Amino acid sequence: MASQLNKKPLALSLFSTGFIVIWLILAAFPFIWTLWGSFKVELDFFSKADWTNALTGARTTVEYGSPFTGAGYHGAWVQEEFWRSVINTAIVCFFTVTISLTLGTLGGYALSRSGFKYVFWLLIAALIFRAMPPITLVSGYLLQFFNWNVWGILPTTIIVLVAINQPFTLWMLHSFFQKIPKELDESAIVDGCTRFQAFRYVIIPVMWPGVITTGLFSFLLAYNDFAVTTLLLAEENRTMVPAIAAFMGTTQTEGNVMFAVAAVVSATAPLFVLVMFFQRQIVSGLTAGAVKG
């Protein structure tokens, strides 16, 4: 696809590369700093005395005889059994993404293929729904959930996350569906498919880029959520983020910040694999979609 005409002048290409490098440093530096610091003791990582301690590990050396220690990881994974939260997060993320996308593609498709006025008002209503601050929503659920005896369990949290995320999913998928020519499914219907078959066999295959991008955001929402999970999950069902928050302590009690730091680093590792895996899908899927469109 790179034609001769598209060849960049050297200056522009240098500028573009330089920009990317600066952005990558900005984006990744805090994380790399955390990764490095997660092998130190707290007094080094949050070095109140001299910031270079975070690099050299002065207090870590005094304590453990080497500038690196896996104490944070040991504490988080073995002592505090962080893996339970990891499993819970995996369950919550998997079901939230699957259900969100199923409901969202059905609804988004319908919205993009119907020309009636109510479609506009539904989209606006979804937008207004999204404007509601989540903390108010969640504290409003509490009493009902306790009454129905469904508080504290994973399915409740999953359904709430799906519902809260529906407006966003709908809007995003709606705009992706609009890009797909109507002739595609309409000709399938003319050929004798039902609306659902047209959706299932004609639209879904060309929808992957949109679905994957939307799925990525649904995933990140479920993965990073604090407001919902912290109030709706019982202690034994905690996902990673509230578990990490619990490592940090409260006014009257001591936390263990290094457990939290180690947990954050280890929580990011599976994501690395996931994004590396899905970026191929995104890139190839998107290009394929472009050719067809």
Partner 1 sequence: MGIMKNLMAATALATISASAALACDISARVNIVGNEFPAIQTVGAGAQECSGGEVKTNLTADHQKINLAGMQGNPAEYTSAIVANSSIVNLMNEDVIRPLDDLVAKHGADLKKNQLITINGKIMAVAFMANAQHLVYRKDVLEKIGMDAPATYEDMLAAAAKIREMGIMENPIGGAYKAGWNLAQEFNNMYIGAGGKFFKDGSAEASINNAQGVAALNMMKSLSEYMNPDFLTHDSNATNAEYRAGNVALMNMWGSRAATLTDADGVSQEVKDGMAIAGPMTVAGGSTPATTLWWDGWTVAKNISDAEAEATFIALTHAIRPEMLNDKTSTEAVWLIDGYTPTPAATGVFAAAQSGSVPYPMLPYQGLLHTALGAELSDFMQGKESAEQALADAEAAYTAAAKESGFLK
Partner 2 sequence: MRHSTFFWFFLPTGLAMLLFIAFPIVSVISQSVFTPHEAVFVESENCGPFGCTTETTIDQDATAALREAKPLGQFVGLQIYLDRGHLATSEVAAAWRSTDSMGAFFKTINNLPFYRAMGFTLTYTFTVTPLLIILGFAIAVAVNSLHRHLKGLVIFFSLLPMIVTPLIGSLILFWMVDSRGVLGNFLQWMADDPDLSLKASTGLTWIMLIVYGVWHSAPFAFVVFYAGLQTLPQDTLESSRIDGATRWQQIRYVVIPHIMPLVTFVALIQIMDNFRVLEPIIGFNAEAHARSLSWIILNDLNGETQLLSSAATTSVLTILGVSILLSPVLVRTWRDFNSKA
CA dist., res. 85 & res. 77, Å (int): 10
Burial (CB < 10 A; 0-12, 13-18, 19+), residue 121, is: exposed
Q: Is residue 268 within 8 Å of residue 31, measured between CB atoms?
A: yes
For residue 103, give both structure tokens.
């409901």
- Least separation in angstroms between residue 238's CB and partner 2 is 13
Distance CA 122, CA 127 (A): 9
Supply angle C-alpha 168, 170, 172, rounded to 5. Answer: 70
Q: How near is the Cβ of 104 to partner 2 at its closest, in Å? A: 6
CA-nearest of 92, 110, 44, 76 to 225 is 92
What is the residue whose two structure tokens read 């990744």?
28
Part in contact with partner 2 (CB under 8 A); list of ranges 56-64, 67-75, 79-87, 237-245 = 237-245
Two tokens, residue 104: 């969202």
Please pick, from the candidates 14, 20, 78, 190, the single residue that binds partner 2 as defined by CB under 8 A. Answer: 20
Closer CB to partner 1, residue 122 or residue 154?
154
Q: How far apart are the first and last CA of the chain?
A: 16
The residue among 27 and 65 lying less far from partner 2, judged by its C-beta, is 27
Contacts with partner 1 in 27-56 (CB under 8 A)? 41-44, 46-49
Candidate list 160, 202, 203, 207; residue touching partner 2; CB under 8 A:
160
Measured from the CB of residue 161, what is the shortest distance to partner 1 in angstroms? 18
Q: Which residue's entry shows tokens 């991008």? A: 213
Residue 220 touches partner 2, criterion: CB under 8 A: yes
Q: Binding-site residue total for partner 1 (CB under 8 A)? A: 46
Which residues on neighbouring strands pair with residue 184, listed in sequence order?
Answer: none
59 binds, among partner 1, partner 2, none (CB under 5 to 8 A by kind): partner 1
- Residue 78 is a binding residue for partner 1 (CB under 8 A): no
For residue 171, the minimal CB distance to partner 2 (Å) is 7
Phi/psi for 219 (5° steps) reads -60, -50
Considering only 16-24, 141-149, 207-215, 277-285, which stretch makes contact with partner 1 by CB under 8 A? 141-149
Buried b (16+ CB within 10 A) or exposed e, 237-249: bbbbbbbbbbbee
Interacting residue with partner 2 among 63, 67, 129, 193 (CB under 8 A) = 129
Contacts (CB under 8 A) with partner 1, residues 253-292: 253-255, 257-258
Residues forming the site for partner 1 (CB under 8 A): 41-44, 46-49, 59-60, 62-64, 71, 80-82, 84-85, 139, 142-143, 146-147, 149, 151-152, 230-231, 234-236, 238, 243, 245-246, 248-255, 257-258
